[in-house]
Amino acid sequence: MAESMIPLSVAVLTVSDTRTEETDRSGQALVQRLEAAGHRLADKRIVPDDVYQIRARVSAWIADPEIQVVLTTGGTGFTGRDSTPEAVSVLLDKRIEGFGELFRQLSWQEIGSSTVQSRCLGGLANATVLFCLPGSTGACRTAWDGILAEQLDSRHKPCNFANLVIPERGQHD
């Protein structure tokens, strides 16, 4: 009998000084994809590109035992107030070094050398997996379709991040 996918509880944070729920296409794209994959949206927020507001929201989600995945979109570039990596990296227990590398490899095929400016990152904190994605809708699609859809699916072999955050699996520390 085929193994069934175990839905995860996912929070989505859009980091932007200008977007609203009506104009947040990147956050909406992530919500649509995670729900289409069978996961549950636990919470969705928009915060300004401010290190302390980002850190406060992500910290609250990391501390919430009901939330297993945090996806952020925005604030990962080099311009102006981009500060998501600085806000989130200090919260991580472990970094997923290959996430940013793989994302940039996939993104290279779409935007060429501009991908070098992406400071997206992934990590694990308090049995919660976190992924900080660029703010463009295309980048969110690239990350979800090329990496996250499989890595958040408990059936993906030989390994996935879902099994690290599912308590009954007992594989997280």
Query: pLDDT by residue (tens digit) across 63-106?
Result: 999 999 999 999 888 887 889 999 999 999 999 999 999 999 99
Any bridge partners for residue 111, and if so which? none
What the chain holds in terms of domains, given with CATH numbers, is: 9-169 (3.40.980.10)
Which residues lie below 8 Å from residue 159, measured CB to CB, with a gap of 6+? none
**pLDDT at position 171:** 46
* pLDDT for res 1: 64
Closest to 34 (Cα-Cα) out of 8, 72, 14, 65: 8
pLDDT band at 172 (very low <50, low <70, confident <90, very high): very low
Each residue's pLDDT tens digit, 5-42: 999 999 999 999 999 999 999 999 999 999 999 999 99
pLDDT tens digits for range 122-158: 999 999 999 999 999 999 999 999 999 999 999 999 9
DSSP 112: G
Q: What is the pLDDT of residue 168?
A: 67
Helices (H) and strands (E) in the chain, counts: 7, 6
**pLDDT for res 101:** 95
Mean pLDDT for the chain overall: 93
